[in-house]
Amino acid sequence: MSEHEQPQTDTPWWRRAVVYQIYPRSFADGNGDGTGDIAGIRSRLSHLQDLGVDAVWFNPWYLSPLADGGYDVTDYRRIDPRFGTIEEATALIAEAHEHGIKVIVDIVPNHTSDQHAWFVEAVNAEPGDPVRDRYHILPGRGDDGSEPPNNWMSVFGGPAWHRLDDGEWYLHLFAPEQPDVNWRNPEVADEYDAVLRFWLDRGVDGFRVDVASSLTKDMTYPDIETDVQAVMSSNRVPNHPHWDRDDVHPIIRRWRALLDSYDGERMMVAEAWVSPETYPLYLRPDEYHQVFNFDLLLAGWDRDEMASIITDSVDRAAAVGSTPTWVLSNHDVMRETTRYGLPNGTNWRTWSVEGPFDSLDPELGLRRARAAALLILSLPGSAYVYQGEELGLPEVWDLPEEVLDDPVWERSEHRQRGRDGCRVPIPWSMDGPSFGFSEVAGWLPQPAEFAGYAVEAQTGVSSSTLELYRRTLAARREYGTDDEQITMLELGDEVLAYCRGNGLRCIVNFASTALELPEYSKMIVASNSEQDDSVLEPDCAVWVI
């Protein structure tokens, strides 16, 4: 069997896929305007094949004013001209398949853009007109209606209501340019069905569903005590007016039936920041195939915390017949090479404003990120790798304020710099105006140090993070197993180690001193570029069998 050949298996692809996340705006620019696009992606498919990923997930590429990086969709059936055309998207899907790579697209069903034809129609209609019922448009409170209908807050900061010129208010759980649609209106469900069919007919293998747990709202619009951010990261609030409500599940079942009516193994993965208690409900056999598990992404570099997340995730998924998902970073969070270089407990959302900046140790962060990659890539289930993780790219946390584009910067009143630092264009070559990303400077500036992280700089360099990822993904294919369990191994309080059914062991050293490795017959891959046969250095990982 060649190193890139997947062993024959009846297991559906998504149960063990490595899914590579592409943020199209920042991956590769084919038309020389400084913004990434589909032409750029098509020219770089060989990078994904060489890396050895099983699937790609594309962040939204639909027609959009990009008020929230494309999560504000004007038309779900058109590609934004900055990214390309529908013909190019269809060709890309087919070409990915020719490279043996499945395709997942992003669906944004909680809100549209304020430029969407439905919202434009609603705004132009009179209060009470049925076309307003596709959104949550309400009179305000107070004698003259000048108070918002309730106290709900936007995830991005500030109130979740915006007033129209005629005095009514509309709900936006995210930016004001992202009005929430009303899922009680049957037209809404029909429209999203049609959108799913549109992309399934173009050959996509799956959907990543944006803010999947917030679609339905309490239509009496009561005030709430808890704020949204707290709800997203903590325990379930029963009957919350707009988060993780029971009435979201019939929508999911409807989509699942639609997917199941297509041939092939079409899947959907939920972006749902929900509690461990309700997480399994989303994974019932007639609901989502997978839910992103963000626990590791939120955890520090902590042996006990990571060990319990891993065992809980494996058990929880197994209990409902699904598989765990592993996510170290994505387009919404600080890149893990930087996160792991900060002391545990640092609030990385505010750190880049507040500091202390000398608390960052970038070398330590990269060492840990490489070890974490070995950790998640040997676990059962599927792993989601965000573009640039394979290069060990750091967060560009000190972007000049004048280039910041994420609405979080303004809406948090400059308490958070937002998410641009993980969305800086990818460096492909060691020189040029944007290190091979484009013929011109990229839409966000890249720091000079990106030259050293370029694909060109790392290719063929055995100690590089890129070659480590390539070796590790090749080994994952070779030593992959369909058993979806792990056995934790006891190697001391500061070592995280487990064994897969085929005898593959992953060992991670969290101690500050080197670890004497237990006996093994073969070392398969090591996160340290200078791995010794018998000892494992701090913050490093190995796979042995």
What residue is closest to ligand TEU based on CB? 71
Instruction: Tell me which residue of 545, 540, 539 sits closest to 520, measured CA to CA.
Output: 545
Q: What is the distance between the alpha carbons of residues 153 and 79, in angstroms, rounded to a whole number? A: 31
Q: Beta strand pairing status for 55-58 and 102-107? A: parallel
In the complex, what is the shortest distance from the CB of residue 60 to ligand TEU, in angstroms, rounded to a whole number?
A: 8
Nearest distance, CB of residue 8 and ligand TEU, angstroms: 35
Q: Which residue lies nearer to ligand TEU by CB, 71 or 282?
A: 71
- Minimum CB distance to ligand TEU smaller for 54 or for 106: 106
- Interaction site with ligand TEU (CB under 6 A): 68, 71, 108, 155, 174, 210-211, 271, 331-332, 408
Beta carbon of residue 412, minimum distance to ligand TEU (angstroms, whole number): 8
DSSP per-residue codes, 151-190? --B-TTSSBSEEE-TTS-EEE-SS-TTSPBB-TTSHHHHH
Q: Is 271 a catalytic residue?
A: yes
| Long-range contacts, 132-136 (Cβ 8 Å, 24+) | 132/168, 133/182, 133/185, 134/181, 134/182, 134/185, 134/187, 134/188, 135/170, 135/171, 135/179, 135/180, 135/181, 135/182, 136/170, 136/171, 136/179, 136/180, 136/182, 136/217, 136/221
Least spacing, CB of residue 320 vs ligand TEU, in Å: 23
CA dihedral 409, 415, 420, 421 (to 10 degrees): 160
Give the C-alpha separation, 162 to 144, whole Å: 15
Q: Which residues pair with 268 in a beta bridge?
A: 207
**Residue 210 appears among annotated catalytic residues:** yes
User: Of the two residues 261 and 350, which places its CB atom closer to ligand TEU in the complex?
Assistant: 350
Report DSSP state, residue 285.
T
Tokens of 305: 């915390």
Residue nearer to ligand TEU on the CB measure, 21 or 464: 21
In terms of Cα–Cα distance, which of 473, 287, 303 is closest to 374? 473
Q: Cβ contacts of residue 234 below 8 Å, gap of 6+? A: 275
Q: Least distance (Å) from ligand TEU to the CB of residue 495?
A: 32
Active-site entry in 177, 210, 244, 287: 210
- Total number of residues shown for the chain: 545
Structure tokens at 3: 């190193």
H-assigned helices in 202-287: 228-233, 249-260
Indicate the residue among 235 and 485 with the shorter CB distance to ligand TEU.
235
The smaller minimum CB distance to ligand TEU, of residues 380 and 388, is found at 388
- Report residue 53 as tokens: 């990923």
174 or 351: CB nearest ligand TEU: 174
In the complex, the smallest distance separating the C-beta of residue 354 from ligand TEU, rounded to whole angstroms, is 16
Q: Which is nearer to ligand TEU, 12 or 158 (CB)?
A: 158
Query: What b/e readout covers 357-366, taking b as 16+ CB neighbours within 10 angstroms?
Result: eeebebebbb
Least Å from the CB of residue 281 to ligand TEU:
19
Phi, psi for 22 (deg, rounded to 5)? -110, 125
DSSP track, 232-250: HHS---TT-SSSS-GGGHH
Q: Are 18 and 377 in contact (CB under 8 A)?
A: yes
- Shortest Cβ 145–ligand TEU spacing (Å): 28
> Which entry of 177, 271, 390, 537 is annotated as an active-site residue?
271
Owner of token pair 């990571």 = 306
By C-beta, is 71 or 450 nearer to ligand TEU? 71
Q: Rounded to the nearest whole angstrom, what is the least distance from the CB of residue 243 to ligand TEU in the complex?
A: 10
Rounded Cα distance, 337 and 201, in Å: 38
Tally of CB atoms within 10 A around 432: 16
Apex CA 347: angle with CA 383 and CA 27, to 5°?
45
Q: Catalytic residues, which ones?
A: 210, 271
